[in-house]
Amino acid sequence: MIVSFYLYKMIITLKNTFLLSLIRCKKMQIETIFNELISNVMPNFDDEFKKKLLNYDNETLVKMVNYALGGGKRIRPLILILINKNLGERFDISNASYSVELMHSLSLIHDDFIDKEEKRRDRVPFYKIFGYDSALLITDYVFGIVIDLINQYKIPEATDTLAKTSLKMSEGEFEELNLFNKKDSVSLDEYLKVINYKTASLFAASAKLGALLSQNPQFAEKAYYFGENLGIIYQVKDDLKDRKHVFNELINKLPQEEQRFLDKLLEEKYLSALKYLKEFPQTEYNKKLYELTDLLFKA
């Protein structure tokens, strides 16, 4: 009996080790493919971005902005650039791609000091380096750069898109705070509203900007909904991976019966994203958008 018990325990351990190895292998494959996609589509993004920031002459504040930008995946500018190339390039869309990445970084600064994070993706959060006061002040400076960059296109709808997205992101953050402070559990609808406003709205805006600044701006609305679906997929997947942060993850306030619908929801959003992609021109960049959609869904 003792031998059988230890044999059973050894089999379970080996099985778990094998499963963990498969998960790590899958994660590495996804990261490799994603990094190749970034290097092929926007190889000099970070270097050019840093050069652009040198146009803003407050050395101390720019240094702080550069720290805030560190470590990101650059998914939002990637979506913008791929949509733009898929629909036909009309402008240099560098400024637009920088503006959406800055808005993302700005939201992370807020998130970290609201959630009292000690680490984000193995990096020390902005407020831990520069302090709470600087974390508040730098967001004003960053938003000023965002407006300056997007205004250079002289396209009112592009500026309006980012303005409305900023409102949504702030509303989403505020709603999340209220849900944490006032409720022991949240409904699936409440959870989805928060991630739609906080995360998916910027994915949607990135895709829409890519269309607005292309030769085919009539695709802007379809691009918006494609990006929105992608953003929901990304955030739900990210939340599922970060469940261990029990204290500051809204997903942990979802009742078990509601959490069972998440897999179905992810599949619905994936199929919806693919439906919009089918309506875009079938170019090499459309194939890359399919590839990105698959990567985020399988992550």
Task: Give DSSP secondary structure letters for 62-102.
Answer: HHHHHHHHTT---HHHHHHHHHHHHH-B-S--HHHHHHHHH
For residue 231, the model assigns a pLDDT of 97
Amino acid in position 81:
I
Q: Where are the alpha helices (DSSP H) in the chain?
A: 2-41, 45-53, 59-69, 75-87, 94-115, 126-130, 132-151, 156-182, 188-195, 201-212, 220-241, 256-259, 262-278, 284-298
Q: HSE on the CB side for 219, CA within 13 Å?
A: 24
Q: Smallest Cα–Cα separation from 170: which of 190, 192, 194, 189?
A: 194
Q: HSE on the CB side for 146, CA within 13 Å?
A: 25
Amino acid in position 92:
D
Phi and psi at 120, nearest 5°, equal: -130, 115
Amino acid in position 298:
K
pLDDT in tens, the chain (299 residues): 555 555 555 555 554 444 444 344 445 566 787 888 888 999 999 999 999 999 998 999 999 999 989 878 899 999 999 999 999 999 999 999 999 999 999 998 888 877 777 777 678 888 888 888 888 889 899 999 999 999 999 999 999 999 999 999 999 999 998 998 887 889 999 999 999 999 999 999 999 999 999 999 999 999 999 999 999 999 999 988 866 554 457 888 899 888 889 999 999 999 999 999 999 999 999 999 999 999 999 98
- Tokens 């949607």 — which residue? 204
Amino acid in position 214:
S
Q: What whole-number distance in Å separates Cα of residue 294 and Cα of residue 261?
A: 20
For residue 1, the model assigns a pLDDT of 52
Q: What whole-number distance in Å separates Cα of residue 56 and Cα of residue 53?
A: 6
Residue-range domain boundaries for the chain = 1-41, 42-298
For residue 151, the model assigns a pLDDT of 96
Q: What whole-number distance in Å separates Cα of residue 46 and Cα of residue 267?
A: 33
- Residue 46 to residues 39, 43, 82, 189, 262: CA-CA distances in angstroms? 11, 8, 17, 37, 34
Q: What whole-number distance in Å separates Cα of residue 42 and Cα of residue 79?
A: 11
Q: Output DSSP code: residue 244.
A: T
Task: Give CATH for domain 42-298.
Answer: 1.10.600.10
Global confidence as pTM: 0.88
Q: Smallest Cα–Cα separation from 117: which of 249, 269, 275?
A: 249
